[in-house]
């Protein structure tokens, strides 16, 4: 039954419920030359920023001073100075990387499926210059439940007190811009991965449920119910992938 529900929700997605963020209209605050050759990016960026933004690297945890920023302000893409996040959506995730629950708006970032670790993850890129920023996970705080886990070296910070015009423009853009919507190319792999694992664990439990002897000990019984718990966990993850 649960699989039927998930399949139905998948059909809703396929029918256009999800619009890729990249299709949303963009509201640029600053006209930047965002298309550069690799040689130009190497010239423009410091080595550590180039490795993250252009080579999809990851900075060491607890290495960015931006992780401790609490002052109201805007976090810009270091590659093109596109405003991406604000301190008002920043939170302490304890991960060692600057974390936010929402970008400036849905047109600020581009979300892509990432299989580098085999498990499907969602990569976050700057929508303007396509620079790699980090990843977004679904274990963030309210109101979105998202955790944008970013590399501080890919960002620059401008305090509101240092650029009031930027702060006002970003606030207006957040109020009027499109919401973040995960594209189907991101949602579907995570959905299928979790549905497959959930089904495998439920099937394993169903196949073994009649094998447990009446004299089984507590540990043996707990072990027998592990596939059921694992199946429920991955079914929950599949449901979360549809948010």
The answer to whether the beta carbons of residues 50 and 42 sit under 8 Å apart is: yes
- Of 21 and 80, which has the nearer Cβ to Zn ion? 80
Site of interaction with Zn ion (CB under 5 A): 77, 79-80, 82, 126, 128-129, 131
The verdict on whether 126 is a catalytic residue reads: no
Minimum separation from the CB atom of position 129 to Zn ion (A): 3
- Of 106 and 131, which has the nearer Cβ to Zn ion? 131
- Of 131 and 183, which has the nearer Cβ to Zn ion? 131
Minimum separation from the CB atom of position 162 to Zn ion (A): 20
Q: Which two tokens stand for residue 168?
A: 């006002």
Q: In 3D, which of 127, 159, 155 has the Cα closest to residue 46?
A: 155
- Which residues, in sequence order, are CB contacts of 123 under 8 Å at separation 6+? 56, 111, 112, 113, 114, 132, 134, 135
CA-CA distance, 18 to 152, in Å (whole number)? 29
According to DSSP, the residues that pair with 155 across neighbouring strands are 77
CA-CA distance, 4 to 194, in Å (whole number)? 14
Minimum separation from the CB atom of position 82 to Zn ion (A): 5
- Write the DSSP symbol of residue 213: -
Minimum separation from the CB atom of position 181 to Zn ion (A): 20
Strands 121-126 and 83-86: unpaired
Active-site choice (10, 77, 80, 149): 149
- Of 6 and 76, which has the nearer Cβ to Zn ion? 76
Residues annotated catalytic, as ranges? 149
């Amino acid at each position: 039954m649960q699989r039927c529900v998930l399949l139905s929700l998948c059909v809703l997605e396929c029918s256009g419920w999800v619009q890729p963020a990249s299709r949303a209209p963009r509201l640029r605050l600053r006209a930047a030359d965002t298309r550069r050759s690799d040689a130009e990016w190497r010239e423009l960026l410091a080595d550590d920023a180039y490795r993250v933004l252009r080579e999809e690297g990851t900075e060491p945890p607890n290495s960015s001073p931006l992780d401790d920023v609490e002052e109201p302000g805007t976090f810009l893409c270091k590659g093109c100075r596109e405003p991406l996040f604000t301190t008002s959506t920043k939170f302490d995730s304890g991960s060692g990387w600057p974390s936010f629950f929402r970008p400036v708006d849905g047109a600020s970032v581009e979300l892509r499926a990432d299989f580098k670790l085999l498990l499907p993850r969602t990569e976050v890129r700057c929508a303007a210059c396509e620079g790699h920023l980090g990843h977004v996970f679904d274990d963030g705080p309210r109101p979105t439940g998202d955790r944008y886990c970013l590399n501080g070296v890919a960002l620059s910070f401008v305090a509101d007190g240092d650029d009031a015009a930027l702060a006002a423009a970003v606030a207006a853009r957040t109020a009027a811009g499109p919401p973040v919507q995960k594209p189907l190319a991101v949602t579907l792999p995570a959905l299928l991965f979790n549905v497959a694992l959930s089904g495998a664990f439920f099937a394993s439990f169903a196949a073994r449920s009649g094998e447990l002897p009446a004299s089984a000990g507590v540990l043996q019984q707990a072990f027998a119910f592990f596939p059921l718990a694992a199946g429920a966990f991955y079914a929950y993850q599949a449901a979360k992938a549809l948010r």
